Amino acid sequence: MSKLDEVYSKLTIKTGAKIALVVLDGLGDIATAAQGNLTPLEAARTPNLDALVQSGCAQGRMIPVAPGITPGSGPGHLALFGYDPIEFEVGRGVIETLGLGIELKAGDVAARANFCTLDAKGIVTDRRAGRIATEVCERLCRILSSKIKKIGTTEVIVLPGKEHRFVIVFRGTGLEGPLTDTDPNREGLPIASAKPVDGKNAGQKKVAKLVADFYKAALPLLKNEKTANGFLMRGIAHQPDIPTFEERYQLKPACLAVYPMYKGLAQLVGMKKIEGPQTVQEQLERYVKEYDAYDFFFIHYKYTDKAGEDGNFAAKVKAIEDFDAALPLLLARKPDVLVITGDHSTPCALKGHSWHPQPVLLHSACSGSDKLDRFTETGANIGSLGIFEAKYLMRLMQANAKMFDKFGA
């Protein structure tokens, strides 16, 4: 733990205050000429957000990881949960597995995998096996998982994803990552062997042997498959040992997310997953019902990011307006501290995640007012929170919940 984290920890007191963190995934955007020089937040009609802002809010912008770094969903959310995403790195295999809705246990080693095509000499001829249909992937995974349940005493779990993608989980004792990829990263080369990143690490060496043994057992099962007679593994890593949210912040947390990936990330830090809600209306109604049972609510809304990834400006505006229309459901039982933000920006013009700091709005009895009329990127630039690293957001929420004693006399 860093010295600063130790200070935060020593100063923390329980207050029973309620905190809600609403993540509009990929909310941040950039204004371009093609968009009439507006961001989706600026173009959207948001009467309920406007009223909230005018009632007194602090705004700012958050650097998700570090200047210029575009985060995936994992690091983006870890930062929002107050974990330095550079210090707490979560392997892609783990993230991918969480995204499939699989519960990982501490020490599990997970890898993401692609089905691929090999020639007679074992040379990779298509790293994605022509992007086989998801049904084919599911059939191939069934073959592997029905025939390979264990290697020695280690349990093996094989699960299909979309198209050529699947995940492999090793569950046993003494396993550790990370290992190098078996993916040679281009066609014309054989499958690489997975090597311990730290050659002296016994857990990594054990996994290297498991991977080799898995290949020995699996490749013969696929040898008569024409389109996908091999596979490549990437991001082989173990579920990291992360201090739980509750011990770190003295807050009992719940997750209201619809998509498995975000439930998985919440679970990674020990949040309780509340299952059921499928729409933002249902999520916010459920928040009101569960208000007394938890101290902290992570509420995830996916559609802003989806629209951004599609480069669909109108859809992103619509997603923001849809959220705005649902917001009064949450305000029916206003938390003591309410934050609305994104996990990163997903500018329509870029059709993907970006490094641009996402706007953040914080409302509490002691947030003060930045005297802005709306919640937008341009307004947030001049807010009292400034432009800061996302990992500090949790500390600002705790401060606004009066969870910190004074530091020094």
**Complex with a second copy: residue 259 or 355, whichever CB lies closer:** 355
3 binds a second copy (CB under 8 A): yes
Using the structure block, give the residue that is written with the tokens 């059921």.
Answer: 276
Whether residue 317 contacts residue 334, with contact meaning beta carbons closer than 8 Å, is answered with no
Read off the amino acid at residue 321. Answer: E
121 binds a second copy (CB under 8 A): no
CA distances (Å), origin 276, targets 41, 253, 261 = 29, 17, 15
Phi, psi (rounded to 5 degrees) for 4? -65, -40
**Complex with a second copy: residue 288 or 365, whichever CB lies closer:** 365
Smallest gap, in angstroms, from Cβ of residue 385 to a second copy?
A: 8
Whether residue 39 contacts residue 376, with contact meaning beta carbons closer than 8 Å, is answered with yes
How would you list the strands of the sheet with 253-256, edge to edge? 272-273, 253-256, 296-301, 19-24, 337-341, 358-364, 58-63, 386-389
377 binds a second copy (CB under 8 A): yes
Smallest gap, in angstroms, from Cβ of residue 391 to a second copy?
A: 9
Using the structure block, give the residue that is written with the tokens 């998801």.
Answer: 134
Smallest gap, in angstroms, from Cβ of residue 359 to a second copy?
A: 10
Least Cα distance to 359 among 22, 75, 71 occurs for 22
**Complex with a second copy: residue 172 or 347, whichever CB lies closer:** 347
What tokens does 268 get?
A: 């990674």
CA distances (Å), origin 251, targets 59, 320, 324, 391 = 23, 29, 27, 17
Span interacting with a second copy, options 125-133, 274-282, 301-309, 346-354, rule CB under 8 A: 346-354
Number of residues forming the site for a second copy (CB under 8 A): 72
Smallest gap, in angstroms, from Cβ of residue 213 to a second copy?
A: 26
Distance from the first to the final alpha carbon of the chain: 24
371 binds a second copy (CB under 8 A): yes
Among 40, 172, 342, 357, binds a second copy (CB under 8 A): 357
Considering only residues 212-251, where is the footprint of a second copy by CB under 8 A?
A: 235
384 binds a second copy (CB under 8 A): yes
284 binds a second copy (CB under 8 A): no
**Complex with a second copy: residue 154 or 354, whichever CB lies closer:** 354
**Complex with a second copy: residue 222 or 387, whichever CB lies closer:** 387
Whether residue 397 contacts residue 360, with contact meaning beta carbons closer than 8 Å, is answered with no
Span interacting with a second copy, options 186-194, 276-284, 301-309, 377-385, rule CB under 8 A: 377-385
**Complex with a second copy: residue 264 or 335, whichever CB lies closer:** 264
- DSSP element (H, E) containing 380: helix 377-380
Distance CA 229, CA 25 (A): 37
399 binds a second copy (CB under 8 A): yes
Whether residue 207 contacts residue 177, with contact meaning beta carbons closer than 8 Å, is answered with yes
288 binds a second copy (CB under 8 A): no
Greatest alpha-carbon pair distance for the chain in Å reads 75
Span interacting with a second copy, options 19-27, 70-78, 117-125, 307-315, rule CB under 8 A: 70-78
Distance CA 234, CA 144 (A): 18
**Complex with a second copy: residue 227 or 381, whichever CB lies closer:** 381
- DSSP element (H, E) containing 20: strand 19-24
Among 19, 109, 350, 361, binds a second copy (CB under 8 A): 350
Span interacting with a second copy, options 159-167, 201-209, 221-229, 363-371, rule CB under 8 A: 363-371
The number of beta carbons lying within 10 Å of the beta carbon of residue 310 is 13
What tokens does 229 get?
A: 């007679």
Site string for a second copy, 47-66 (x = CB under 8 A): --------xx----x---xx
The number of beta carbons lying within 10 Å of the beta carbon of residue 291 is 16
- 177: three-class secondary structure by DSSP: coil
Site string for a second copy, 72-111 (x = CB under 8 A): xxxx---------xx--xx-x--xx--x------------
Considering only residues 22-41, where is the footprint of a second copy by CB under 8 A?
A: 29-33, 37, 39
Considering only residues 301-330, where is the footprint of a second copy by CB under 8 A?
A: none
9 binds a second copy (CB under 8 A): no
Span interacting with a second copy, options 145-153, 283-291, 301-309, 364-372, rule CB under 8 A: 364-372
